[in-house]
Amino acid sequence: MKSRLLGRRWRQWALPTRLSFLGSVASMLGAVGSVMAIFSSLPPSSDVNKKIGELSDIRSALSTLDNYVAVQQQRLREVSSEKVTLEVERDRIQRVLQIDRDRLDALLAYQIAEQGRTRWIERMLSFFIGVLSSSLVTFIAIWFQGRRRRAAAGTDPDGQA
């Protein structure tokens, strides 16, 4: 009976009203279809729990990664401060070494100059020792020759005949 009512009324409606009614019905069918598609695409509750577990695992992994990054940042800060400390120490040691190198160069220059002075003294001393030793050997040789001559002549100054 209702369909007869709708049928009679349908004929009485103007064309724009009919089109509007058909558009409304199609729109409602589209909305119902969309809602059904959304509900059918939702995973079952076990899948939701599985996803929650996976997200929890990801959160703990990210937390671990964050801790690792923080530790590495701290190590880099420590290495950086140690590097600065070592550079300051290196500069200080280089200044000390430069001072020591200058002192060593001055000491070596003094030693070379002193060796040049003492070289002439050593040469003259060696010359005089050589002359003295040659004279002493000559004197001893002459004394032994004179003693032999006297011994051969029979007059020994030591009283030995």
Q: 116 or 156, which is more confident?
A: 116
Residues 103-144 have pLDDT tens digits of: 888 888 898 888 888 888 888 999 999 999 999 999 999 999
Are 29 and 37 a contacting pair, CB within 8 Å? no
pLDDT of residue 87: 94
Q: What is the DSSP string of 5-26?
A: HHHHHHHHS-HHHHHHHHHHHH
Q: How far apart are CA 68 and CA 110, in angstroms?
A: 61
If you ran DSSP here, which 8-state letter would residue 42 be given?
A: S
Q: Taking the CA atoms of 131, 133, 136 and 142 in sequence, report the sign of the dihedral they define.
A: negative
Q: Within 13 Å of residue 42, how many CA atoms lie on the same side as its CB?
A: 9
Rounded Cα gap, residues 101 and 53, in angstroms: 70
Give per-residue pLDDT as tens, 55-106: 888 888 888 988 999 999 999 899 899 999 999 999 998 888 888 888 888 8
Domain ranges of the chain: 36-117
Which residue pairs, CB below 8 angstroms and at least 24 apart, start in 26-33?
A: none
Confidence of residue 11 (pLDDT cuts 50, 70, 90): confident
Predicted TM-score of the model (pTM): 0.36
